Amino acid sequence: MSDSGWKLVYEGFDPAQEGVREALCTLGNGYFATRGAAEETEADGVHYPGTYLTCGYNRRVTELAGRRIENEDLVNLPNWLPLSFRAQGGEWLNLSRMEVLSYTQELDIRLGLLQRRMRVRDELGRETSVTSRRLVHMRHQNLAAIEMTLTAENWSGAVEVRSAINGRVINAGVERYRQLSSNHLAPLEVCDLGEDAMLLVAETNQSHIRIAEAGRTRVFRDGSPVEVARESAHEKGRATHTLACPIGRGQSLTVEKIVALYTSRDRAISEPTEAAVQAVVMAEDFAGLLASHALAWKALWDRGDIVVERHPRTQVLLRLHIFHLLQTVSPNTVDLDAGVPARGLHGEAYRGHIFWDELFILPYLDAHFPSISRALLLYRYRRLPEARRLAREAGHEGAMFPWQSGSSGREESQVLHLNPRSGRWTPDNSNRQRHVSAAIALNVWRHWQATGDRTFLDRHGAEMLIEIARFWASVATWDEPLGRYGIAGVMGPDEFHDAYPWRDEPGLDNNAYTNVMAAWVLRRAAEVLDLVQPERRRELERMLEIGDDERARWDEISRRLHVPFLDNGIIAQFDGYDELAELDWDAYREKYGDIQRLDRILEAEGDSVNRYKASKQADVLMLFYLFSSDELRELLGSLSYDFSPEVIPATVDYYLARTSHGSTLSRVVHSWVLARRNRARSWQLLHDALESDVSDIQGGTTAEGIHLGAMAGTVDLVQRAQTGLELRDGVLWLTPCLPNELQGLRLKILHHGSWLHLHVGCEEITVSAPYGWAGFERIGVRDQLHQFRAGETLSFGCERAEDGWRPKKEEPRRTSDAENDAVGDLR
Ligand code: BGC
């Protein structure tokens, strides 16, 4: 694989790598996405064409290990890709059977275009060059298109082209789920549409989402339409057109397939079939669609790009990560009821469910596309009644959001989990990760801080914060011997620990991360009532029946929650952590090599990871990731703990040495917490996090879907941790700490509706807000405060520090802004 700032390029066809390529070459528009599977293929063990609709879920029931299990899946929709050809009497294009003379696959990240170029030779020695280009339209969210150009290099005769829409698909993208029911689609209709198009209609068999896909296939020679002999061979659940026409030696033909995909969830339509038919008839040709598609992407890059100077590999990976985020959620998502699935719309891992990963995703969106983050928060808001129901059912008050969320916001986590190493189904207790609700509260708060959107806070945000705070107040119980409140029976972000080795029932007590977050939420809920408009405050107090007693209780608990510590002053992951055994990490590394999924290794050995001081991912360290040391000292101080930031380095080292990074999120967090103290190590972890998917460092998981939390997390790491961008105490702070490997960054950040332009280089740092500034009037650089206002560029000289560059302590140079194009949020 090579790259050049905007391109992922793969040379050669490698069946073993095909799944990863398909996931990484997925094209989407925040409404639907399709994996980068070759057009001529079907699901066959090497290829897995998958198309997924945002929030397009369906439920099925399976009898498994003696239990009745209902699983909700993000449905694999009818495959619109099939497009293939053959030379007269030969076999259909098939890379596994034909001689492949050359093969290149290229993802153009700037344009959102997937291209393949190949030369193949069939069994009769006929050589054909093939170029295909594909897009999923970023503006016309219901349209997608393929253009395939064939050149008969050394032959002439008839060529046949086969174009199809295949509704006979199931969810079979993840090996581990094969025992679960996976048949989600009922075929309804297949027919011709006029001269050159076909239609397929299907419906999900439980959620009753109706899907209509219409496809138009035309052939051109030198830009003019070609007369073809067309045959329809439709079957139940599959529409097929076969087109035949002559081709001369050395001649080229271009086949265009334009597809419209509508569902009964769409707005501004009567019903999906009519809408798809009309759209496919009206659609422009490929060139026209590509032009408008590229314009839509340009608008996104103008707002969302981060330019990395002189480090092409980091540049292309960051852009790839932004690209996949914006293909999963985009301005098209803003009007939908959509959350952000942990694995994108790129595969079937985790069945398209929505976890706490938003915590890693929203900061980038808040800073570039706040209307998208608002839409994702509204996905949660609409599920507040269900979160209230979940809390009630568990015997609590307020709102308890599910660990895994899907269509309705009920808990979608599985109850049994298959360990592929041992083949055993074991209980899955991951739904005890109550901290997901705190993450939602933090996302609400950060959105408000980044946007100053009072309407959102008044109408939606405050209610969510209050209900989540209520939940924490109701799960906290007074522990007399401790003289503090505690929270029992939970799991922290580290999924390796779900129970004590000495206790039968699952759950841990006083997970430090959970308790500190709960204290934080309780304080914010009290504050938010003072922030909303006075009438809204009265309404909320009446509607939610919030009295003085309750507020006093929030205050009391927020100051008296228990946080466990080890003897050396390090925050303990949970009560009793100290009693766990140390693992012989070297021995396990030597025996197994890759020990990221130590939980599975130990279970297969008949042991349990619960017995050891071994974490899958950052848990305590999440606190240093989310809060600055000052914020944390203040927060722990309010809980009457004397927390000194001096213990932070020892805490980081302690847990880093005991973490397997079994989640891709882990490296992002560790890189962040080391950014200031050990730039070299931090860079290494960022580098590994950047490579997570593109190099499939988990050995097989990327093919099942990208890791969107880690992708967005790396971008946010560069955006905030490397620049040291922080809004605190009425000041915009900039404390850049670029590692030696990064020579410079250029980006724009939206704050309270104004764009802040930032260039962090080795020799100079410049900051400006050329088109207005509604944020703080002071900027802090290396502990010194300077006035900051719109229309001026402030330039700070830099000097070499131990392991990187830093701004000099001097007065900035001030010039007036001229250049730069102004852009607003897209919605
Ligand atoms: C991680 C979770 C994460 C989930 C979805 C798991 O492996 O442990 O923290 O939310 O993947 O990305």
Please write the tens of the pLDDT for every residue from 217-253.
Answer: 999 999 999 999 999 999 999 999 999 999 999 999 9
CB of 78 closer than 8 Å to CB of 169: yes
Is residue 728 predicted with pLDDT exceeding 90? no
Q: Where in the chain is the domain with CATH 2.60.420.10?
A: 727-824
Of all protein residues, whose CA lies closest to atom 12 belonging to ligand 1?
342
Which tokens hold the place of 295? 């314009």
Predicted confidence (pLDDT) per residue in 484-514, tens digit: 999 999 999 999 999 999 999 999 999 999 9
Q: pTM for the complete prediction? A: 0.97
pLDDT band at 820 (very low <50, low <70, confident <90, very high): very low
Calculate how far, in angstroms, residue 618's C-alpha sits from the geometric centre of ligand 1: 11
Q: Where in the chain is the domain with CATH 2.70.98.40?
A: 2-299
How many whole angstroms from its chain centre is CA 336? 17
Which atom of ligand 1 lies nearest, measured to the CA of 617? Answer: 8
pLDDT band at 774 (very low <50, low <70, confident <90, very high): confident
pLDDT band at 207 (very low <50, low <70, confident <90, very high): very high
Is residue 118 predicted with pLDDT exceeding 90? yes
Of all protein residues, whose CA lies closest to atom 7 belonging to ligand 1?
663
Please compute the mean of the pLDDT values over residues 82-87 and round it to a whole number: 98
Which of 355, 494, 711, when mutated, tests ligand 1's pocket best, judged by the most ligand atoms within 8 Å of its CB? 355
Average pLDDT, the chain: 95
Of all protein residues, whose CA lies closest to atom 11 belonging to ligand 1?
663
Which atom of ligand 1 lies nearest, measured to the CA of 355? Answer: 10
Handedness of CA 261, 265, 270, 273 (dihedral sign): positive
389 CB-near residues (< 8 Å, 6+ apart): none
- Which phi and psi (to 5°) does residue 251 adopt? -85, 155
**Tell me, what's the pLDDT at 782?**
82
Calculate how far, in angstroms, residue 442's C-alpha sits from the geometric centre of ligand 1: 18
**Tell me, what's the pLDDT at 803?**
65
Which of 440, 496, 665, when mutated, tests ligand 1's pocket best, judged by the most ligand atoms within 8 Å of its CB? 665
Predicted confidence (pLDDT) per residue in 581-636, tens digit: 999 999 999 999 999 999 999 999 999 999 999 999 999 999 999 999 999 999 99
Please compute the mean of the pLDDT values over residues 361-390 and round it to a whole number: 98
Is residue 36 predicted with pLDDT exceeding 90? yes
CB of 31 closer than 8 Å to CB of 160: no
Count the Cβ atoms, other than its own, within 10 Å of residue 293: 25
pLDDT above 90 coverage of the chain, percent: 87
Calculate how far, in angstroms, residue 204's C-alpha sits from the geometric centre of ligand 1: 27
Please compute the mean of the pLDDT values over residues 188-216 and round it to a whole number: 97
Calculate how far, in angstroms, residue 198's C-alpha sits from the geometric centre of ligand 1: 41
- Which phi and psi (to 5°) does residue 478 adopt? -75, 130
The identity of residue 652, as a single letter, is V
Is residue 301 predicted with pLDDT exceeding 90? yes
- Of 47, 104, 23, nearest to 711 by C-alpha is 23
Of all protein residues, whose CA lies closest to atom 5 belonging to ligand 1?
342
Predicted confidence (pLDDT) per residue in 411-421, tens digit: 999 888 889 99
| Distance (Å) of CA 427 to CA 314, 422, 595, 597 | 40, 14, 21, 17
Q: Which of 22, 72, 412, 495 is catalytic?
A: 495
Is residue 169 predicted with pLDDT exceeding 80? yes
The two beta strands, 210-221 and 197-204, are antiparallel
Which of 357, 358, 669, when mutated, tests ligand 1's pocket best, judged by the most ligand atoms within 8 Å of its CB? 357
The identity of residue 538, as a single letter, is R
Is residue 826 predicted with pLDDT exceeding 50? yes
Alpha-carbon distance of 243 to 478, in angstroms, equals 75
Is residue 467 predicted with pLDDT exceeding 60? yes
Please compute the mean of the pLDDT values over residues 39-65 and round it to a whole number: 95
Alpha-carbon distance of 727 to 678, in angstroms, equals 23
Calculate how far, in angstroms, residue 806's C-alpha sits from the geometric centre of ligand 1: 35
Calculate how far, in angstroms, residue 663's C-alpha sits from the geometric centre of ligand 1: 6
Alpha-carbon distance of 357 to 705, in angstroms, equals 14
Which atom of ligand 1 lies nearest, measured to the CA of 350? Answer: 5
DSSP for 625-691 reads: HHS-HHHHHHHHHHTT----TTHHHHHHHHHHTTB---STHHHHHHHHHHTTT-HHHHHHHHHHHHH
Burial (Cβ within 10 Å: 0-12, 13-18, ≥19) of residue 477: exposed
Alpha-carbon distance of 318 to 205, in angstroms, equals 39
**Tell me, what's the pLDDT at 824?**
59
- Of 748, 741, 686, 755, nearest to 312 by C-alpha is 741
Is residue 823 predicted with pLDDT exceeding 60? no
The two beta strands, 157-166 and 784-787, are unpaired
Which atom of ligand 1 lies nearest, measured to the CA of 357? Answer: 10
**Tell me, what's the pLDDT at 676?**
86
Which of 176, 663, 702, when mutated, tests ligand 1's pocket best, judged by the most ligand atoms within 8 Å of its CB? 663
**Tell me, what's the pLDDT at 805?**
74
Please compute the mean of the pLDDT values over residues 335-357 and round it to a whole number: 97
Which atom of ligand 1 lies nearest, measured to the CA of 494? Answer: 8
Predicted confidence (pLDDT) per residue in 546-566, tens digit: 999 999 999 999 999 999 999
Query: Does 495 participate in catalysis according to the annotation?
Result: yes
Which atom of ligand 1 lies nearest, measured to the CA of 493? Answer: 9
Predicted confidence (pLDDT) per residue in 803-812, tens digit: 667 788 888 9
pLDDT band at 4 (very low <50, low <70, confident <90, very high): low
Predicted confidence (pLDDT) per residue in 656-687, tens digit: 999 999 999 999 999 999 998 898 999 999 99
Count the Cβ atoms, other than its own, within 10 Å of residue 4: 10
**Tell me, what's the pLDDT at 827?**
52
Of all protein residues, whose CA lies closest to atom 9 belonging to ligand 1?
493
Calculate how far, in angstroms, residue 441's C-alpha sits from the geometric centre of ligand 1: 19
Calculate how far, in angstroms, residue 488's C-alpha sits from the geometric centre of ligand 1: 22
Alpha-carbon distance of 131 to 153, in angstroms, equals 13
Which atom of ligand 1 lies nearest, measured to the CA of 663? Answer: 7
CATH code linked to domain 727-824:
2.60.420.10
Is residue 818 predicted with pLDDT exceeding 60? no
Is residue 821 predicted with pLDDT exceeding 60? no
Is residue 2 predicted with pLDDT exceeding 60? no
Predicted confidence (pLDDT) per residue in 437-456, tens digit: 999 999 999 999 999 999 99
Alpha-carbon distance of 747 to 367, in angstroms, equals 10
Calculate how far, in angstroms, residue 353's C-alpha sits from the geometric centre of ligand 1: 11
Of all protein residues, whose CA lies closest to atom 8 belonging to ligand 1?
663
Which residues line the pocket of ligand 1, CB cutoff 6 A?
342, 350, 355-357, 493, 495, 616-617, 663, 665, 709
Least confident of 159-173, 332-346, 759-773: 759-773
Domain 2-299: CATH superfamily, name plus number: Glycoside hydrolase, family 65, N-terminal domain (2.70.98.40)
Q: Looking only at Cα atoms, what is the longest distance across the chain?
A: 90
